[in-house]
Amino acid sequence: MIFSRLSIIVASALCALGLMAVPRAEYPRPQFEREQWQNLNGTWTYEFDKGRSGMDRRLFESKGFDNEITVPFCPESKLSGVGHTDFIPAMWYHRTIQVPQEWLGKRIMLNFGGVDFFAGIYVDGKLVGRHWGGSSPFSCDITESTADGLPHNLVVRVEDDVRSGTQPTGKQSHGFYPGGAVYTRTTGIWQTVWMEPVDEASLASVYIVPDLDRSRFIVKPEFRSLKAGQTIEVKIKDGDKVVARDRQKAAPGMSMPIAIKNVKTWSPESPFLYDIELTVLDADSRPVDTVKSYAGMRKIHIEGNRYYLNNKPYFLRLVLDQGFYPEGIWTAPTDDDLRRDIELSMAAGFNGARLHQKVFEERFHYWADKLGYLTWGESPSWGGNLNRIETARNFIPEWESIVVRDRNHPSIIAWTPFNETWERPDNDEAALQHDRFIEDIYRTTHNLDYSPVNDASGNYHVITDLWTVHSYEQDPARLAEWFVVKDGRYPCQDPRRDVPYTGQPFFIDEYGGIKWVDGQQFSEGSWGYGQGPKTIEEYYDRLEGLTDAILAVPYMSGYTYTQLTDVEQEQNGIYNYDRTPKFDMNRIRSIFSKSPF
């Protein structure tokens, strides 16, 4: 154990000096980037706490555990070096941290991209922060605990109960084995951990709203605190050229409209991004904080039953992306893997993705912005019973944090807080409370961002900007028949539970799911929707027939094909789970590149 702890200290020091490769070394928050920071990924020690007795045993005072794990990969993953796939009700992490001398005098923020589900953070045995929510980022101010510039013991306590029915789990299996449409679990730290120094009067966040019709960005900064004479300067750049700037007195709730001449728009066809630099200055005009960001000038709105991008009707050819990786599970092995998934999708003919039952890493959205890839952001809502008050208590703050984290990304053009709300009760009073919760989340989302909200993908709609249905009908003729409007009634999942359709943009945001195994069968329980085709030609014919049936629907605004890759036992992807192709991609692209307008 002594050797293990010593190796951690040495490894941490080598990583800090840049002498050892740090996993996921890129800055994790690309739209709010500071120059000074320290990546804390790498080798930590850990202990499982299956009896949840760690608090009684005072593990928060630990100076190191017996086992090693590679952060930010979850203990279930191969990349973590652990590969433990049984349930982990609780676990503890440890590493040493040391604040660089040049940071002393600043506020020291300890940041976590994602820890599933509950996290308690301790420095030298003292609690410095707690967080609930497996997919939302959080920070702890550890200034008082680290102000001497010496090494300190950082301990992270984790609790995760995917079977509680009160926390969002997404597609994490509630049984020992993955099966059906649920897969290997993710516990604990699964995104980057890092430290950075900030001034007391630094930026806390910024909301950047594109206003295409007036050729301007509306910049809304928030500050940690305000001091007399403090100002903020915003520069908007096209490459190295400053095309717009403004400087104003800092104030709570301030808004800075900044016009741009000859504005360039963002779209999949031309994903132009403006670089944005935000500088907080003190009363003597000395900079105390600088944050680098970027933004795309794009407009999303709805007219009648059509979805508009930059004031033109736009047909969405999306693919379902669940964001699982064979080696990392919820965490991409490298930043290149995030980019590569988008490139694979675009090579297959899609112009975007419905991100399904998972909050993707911010770096994924960065690459979507850079490459021109449209996405619908979604929560991992499965696992939380919407009829339980504890579920609402856990869901609301996490979802708010997710929307605020990602709302600046031009590639995100809709929000889907819930998916297939099967647990809606038949009892009128219970159903009323269920529907009230969904309506509350719909309105909360709109209070935070302007993008359209798909309240519950597939079913059951309560209040929604987009009308979405799911169908895994494998016969193109029968699928076409389902879309025929009869007696004024449009397709829905259940007319007894769905509110009436009122003319929103209409999407089939899950279809296909055709099984095809390309010599890489994950398990004997491998499956796809319906009876799989017997030949490759039958596969292509069915895929094109289903897609053509959707494209022929006059009121259709887009589709989502299931899915981009196989995920463990669910083998209905365009690509294998390891991202190798299963098909002639020219033929696949010729099908998914079609558009009715």
pLDDT of residue 20: 59
- 382 — phi, psi (to 5°)? -60, 145
How confident is the model at residue 382, as a pLDDT?
96
Q: What is the mean pLDDT of residues 195-217?
A: 97
Instruction: Quick: pLDDT tens for 128-159.
Output: 999 999 999 999 999 999 999 999 999 999 99
Asked if 42 and 107 count as a contact pair (C-beta separation under 8 A), the reply is no
CA 516, 517, 523 angle in degrees (round to 5)?
125
What does the alpha-carbon distance between residue 413 and residue 486 come to, in Å, rounded to a whole number? 31
Stretch among 153-167, 184-198, 363-377, 425-439 having the lowest mean pLDDT: 425-439
Pairing of strands 456-457, 418-419: parallel
pLDDT class for 496, splitting at 50, 70, 90? confident
What is the phi/psi pair of residue 13, to 5°?
-65, -40
Of the candidate ranges 124-128, 283-287, 495-499, 551-555, the one whose mean pLDDT is the lowest: 495-499
Q: Angle at which helices 335-347 and 362-371 pack, to 10 degrees?
A: 40
Helices 536-551, 585-592: axis angle to 10 degrees equals 20
Decide if 125 contacts 153 (C-beta within 8 A). Answer: yes
Q: Which residue has the tokens 């020690």?
A: 45
**Mean pLDDT score of the chain, rounded to an integer?**
95
Return the minimum-mean-pLDDT range out of 17-31, 199-213, 267-281, 370-384: 17-31
For 203-295, the fitting CATH number among 2.60.40.10, 3.40.50.300, 1.10.3720.10, 3.50.50.60 is 2.60.40.10
How many C-beta atoms surround the C-beta of residue 593 within 10 A? Answer: 12
Q: What is the mean pLDDT of residues 2-20?
A: 47
Dihedral (Cα; 295, 296, 297, 300), 10-degree rounding? -110
pLDDT for residue 5: 45
- Going by pLDDT thresholds of 50, 70 and 90, the confidence category of residue 8 is very low
Amino acid making up residue 259: A
Q: Which phi and psi (to 5°) does residue 144 adopt?
A: -65, -25
Q: How many whole angstroms separate alpha carbon 192 and alpha carbon 401?
A: 17
Give the least confident one: 72-86, 190-204, 392-406, 480-494: 480-494
Residue 524 above 90 pLDDT?
Answer: no
The first and second tokens of residue 370, run together, are 């850079």
As a whole number, mean pLDDT of residues 4-30 equals 66
> What is the per-residue pLDDT across 176-204, written as a single tens digit (0 to 9) for each?
999 999 999 999 999 999 999 999 999 99
Mean of pLDDT values over 422-444: 90
Nearest to 450 by CA among 264, 233, 256, 220: 220
CATH number of 2-198: 2.60.120.260
Mean predicted confidence (pLDDT) in 336-362: 98
* 21 to 43, 350, 491: CA distances (angstroms): 11, 35, 53
Taking the C-alpha atoms of residue 351 and residue 353, their distance in angstroms, rounded to an integer, is 7
pLDDT of residue 167 exceeding 90: yes
* pLDDT of 426: 80
72 upstream amide cis, omega within 30 of 0: yes
Distance of CA 65 to the CA centre of its chain: 31
| CA-closest candidate to residue 281, choices 238, 344, 356, 230 | 230
Same fold yes or no, 203-295 and 315-592: no
Taking residues 525-540, what's their average pLDDT? 94
Give me the residue spans of the domains in the chain: 2-198, 203-295, 315-592
- The residue-averaged pLDDT of 43-51 equals 97
| Contact yes or no for 294/273 (Cβ under 8 A) | yes
Position 336 scores a pLDDT of: 98
- pLDDT at position 7 is 46
Amino acid 202: pLDDT: 96
Cβ burial, residue 67 (10 Å; 0-12/13-18/19+): middle
Its CATH class, for the domain covering 315-592, is alpha beta
pLDDT in tens, 99-108: 999 999 999 9
Rounded Cα distance between 172 and 170, Å, is 6
How far is Cα 234 from Cα 276, in angstroms, rounded to an integer?
Answer: 7
pLDDT at 4 over 70: no
- Please tell me the distance from the alpha carbon of residue 280 to that of residue 379, in angstroms, as a whole number: 33
Q: Which helix (H) or strand (E) holds 232?
A: strand 231-238
pTM of whole model > 0.85? Answer: yes
Q: How confident is the model at residue 27 (pLDDT cuts 50, 70, 90)?
A: very high
Strands 241-249, 203-211: pairing kind: unpaired
Residue listed under structure tokens 């989302």: 445
Q: How confident is the model at residue 1 (pLDDT cuts 50, 70, 90)?
A: very low
Q: What is the DSSP string of 540-583?
A: HHHHHHHHHHHHT-TTEEEEEEE-SB-BTTB---SB-TTS-B-S
Structure tokens at 225: 């605190």
Q: What is the pLDDT of residue 428?
A: 80
Instruction: Note the pLDDT tens digit of each residue in 246-285.
Output: 999 999 999 999 999 999 999 999 999 999 999 999 999 9
Beta bridge partner(s), residue 48: 91
Q: What are 327's two structure tokens?
A: 């080696």
Cβ atoms of 225 and 289 within 8 Å: the answer is no
